[in-house]
Structure 1
Amino acid sequence: MSRTGTLAAGLLAAGGSHVAYRVLTSRVGSARWQRTNHAGDPVTLLEGPAYVAGAALGAATCGPAGAVAALGAGAFGALDDLAGDGASKGLRGHLGAAAQGRVTTGLVKIVGIGATGLVAAVLADRGRAGVPSFDTVVGGAVVAGAANLANLLDLRPGRAVKATVLAASPLVLSGHAGASRGAAAAAGAGLGVLAPDLAGRAMLGDTGANAAGALVGVALLGHTGRVGRLVALAVLTALTLASERVSFTRVIESTPGLRELDAWGRPAR
């Protein structure tokens, strides 16, 4: 029954994101959802809302935590997609702006996703007896950190979706009913919009990437206690700090195996 529910969550998410993408791209023509990618080609950010719709739909099959994480992180990501001015980049940039008395949309997103992550962690732990408040707070930070990391990877076609599927896969296979369904929803929603992403016609943007990472983070909480959550938070923090100094793209392109996986499925240019 658990495997059937997990499969259903993944299929529902994949179908939901695919249909939502087709509907949105056929009906929304606003330039606010248009960007130019790394190669100078025009892309749509509507993949992000489509991902959120499918992910939330699939995650709702296992309770509110995953859906709250996806919708909340997606909403704050959309704020940055639509209203961000791009003047401040990265954690250092947003905190630096705050120190100068300027509140950026990126800072609002950081605070908002942090709050969303905490709410999602509270909901995820609510059904587990004896979870200390400290563990739940750490879990909230894990959800927020995962949301941020996924966004840092959304720099090349298909990269963030592939990372989401790879991170979610072991959780899907774990056998834990709730966590498996949430992870299946994260992966399924990504697979539903993978084709236009790989083709360079669309990208997740902050909306979709933040939601993807947050949902994987919630799924992870179902498998971990205090030690696991602290380890996950340490890894996420280290990678986030490293991104301020090191280009993930350069690391990926200079590492055999990662380079080929990253390029898989993209059309030759």
Structure 2
Amino acid sequence: MIFISVFCLGIGFIFTKFIIPMFMKLLYDTACVKSNYKGENIPVGMGLIFIPVVTVNVIFLLSWINGSRIIYGIIFLIGILAMGFSGLLDDLLGNRSVTGLKGHFKKMLKLELTTGGFKAAFGGLIAFTISMIISKDIIDIFINTLIVALFTNFINLLDLRPGRALKGFLVTGVILVISPINEIFCFLLLGLIGSSLAYIPYDLKAKSMMGDVGSNILGISLGIVSISLSFPVRMIILGFLILLHLYTEKYSLTETIQRVKILKYFDEIGR
């Protein structure tokens, strides 16, 4: 198990370092650039690098695992592909005239579809599908669907300043890795942690943005991994996610981070 863990982590880091320059050039050449919070035009959609990393690790694990455990690797890959697609759509076609889940759902009630609304609705369907495959009963399906959907949006909420979303993912990811989660999910999460460690310097220095494609992939990976935890732990996680989303609908997360010294310090590390 230690060998596989180190391999997945190492492959995630090394492979990401190798492909970053190619993806940077691709995004510049195809004019996939957007203005960051400083007003500088930089590549957007660098979260695409996470897809080949997860795919390589899934291929590796398929040669080591067998039987019913294979389904966990396939579920993880399908989840990040699906949410990566919806995030990329938002990166390329979306605008920020409507913000927050409430705003997007209000538009949908008026039969107006925004890319953010599509991402939220599609993400909910993906979360429900994954939960139906893994869960044991109706209550489990309901709880797991909310966890996957809200975790996906959680990383998106953090992605407002360079490195913030990646730091949130890394801290949460490490906590989950040392928790009693599904073994296959643990290996795949380690691959994403390695990939994030390789990419984070580019994000911190505002050389590129991973975009919604990246935050969606990182968020859903945390959600999928979390639903393999025990029922009491999942209820605690769900409660935290619900409270956080209710808070961010009313208050600015960035302003809150700026007011709390320890959060502000952690947020500014590396910039």
Q: What is the TM-score with the length of structure 1 in the denominator?
A: 0.88
Q: What does residue range 113-262 of structure 1 map to in structure 2 within 5 Å? A: 113-125=123-135, 131-174=136-179, 176=181, 177-225=183-231, 227-262=232-267
Cα distance in 2 between the residues matched to 1:183 and 1:136:
22
Please list the CA deviations of residues 126-175 of structure 1 after superposition, one character each: whole Å capped at 9, or x if unmatched.
xxxxx224313321221111110100101111110111000010222236
Q: Contact (CA 8 Å) 1:36, 1:43: kept in 2 or not?
A: yes
Shift of 1:59: 5.4
Cα distance in 1 between the residues matched to 2:97 and 2:123:
20
Distance 1:101 1:46, change over 3 A: closer
- Farther-moved stretch of structure 1 (152-161 vs 231-240): 231-240
- Farther-moved stretch of structure 1 (197-206 vs 56-65): 56-65
Please list the CA deviations of residues 108-140 of structure 1 after superposition, one character each: whole Å capped at 9, or x if unmatched.
111111122223334445xxxxx2243133212
Counterpart in the other structure of 1:54: 53
Shift of 1:206: 0.7
Q: Contact (CA 8 Å) 1:6, 1:172: kept in 2 or not?
A: no
Please list the CA deviations of residues 208-233 of structure 1 after superposition, one character each: whole Å capped at 9, or x if unmatched.
001101101111122232x3333322
- Farther-moved stretch of structure 1 (172-181 vs 145-154): 172-181
Q: Match of 1:207, as an amino acid?
A: V
Q: Match of 1:198, as an amino acid?
A: L
Shift of 1:81: 0.9
Cα distance in 1 between the residues matched to 2:9 and 2:175:
14
Cα distance in 2 between the residues matched to 1:119 and 1:260:
39
Q: Percent of counterpart pairs with the same letter?
A: 25
Distance 1:210 1:186, change over 3 A: same
Q: Match of 2:100, as an amino acid?
A: G
Cα distance in 2 between the residues matched to 1:228 and 1:119:
22
Alignment of 1:7 onto 2:6: yes
Cα distance in 2 between the residues matched to 1:231 and 1:116:
22
Cα distance in 1 between the residues matched to 2:166 and 2:58:
17
SS in 1 for 2:34: strand
Distance 1:22 1:121, change over 3 A: farther
Distance 1:59 1:260, change over 3 A: farther
- Farther-moved stretch of structure 1 (208-217 vs 188-197): 188-197
Please list the CA deviations of residues 83-119 of structure 1 after superposition, one character each: whole Å capped at 9, or x if unmatched.
1132211112111212222111111111111122223
Q: CA RMSD in A?
A: 2.0
Please list the CA deviations of residues 16-53 of structure 1 after superposition, one character each: whole Å capped at 9, or x if unmatched.
3333322111234222x211111112221131111333
SS in 1 for 2:250: coil
SS in 2 for 1:193: helix
SS in 1 for 2:42: strand
- 5+ residue gaps, structure 2: 62-71
- 5+ residue gaps, structure 1: 126-130
Q: Contact (CA 8 Å) 1:77, 1:210: kept in 2 or not?
A: yes
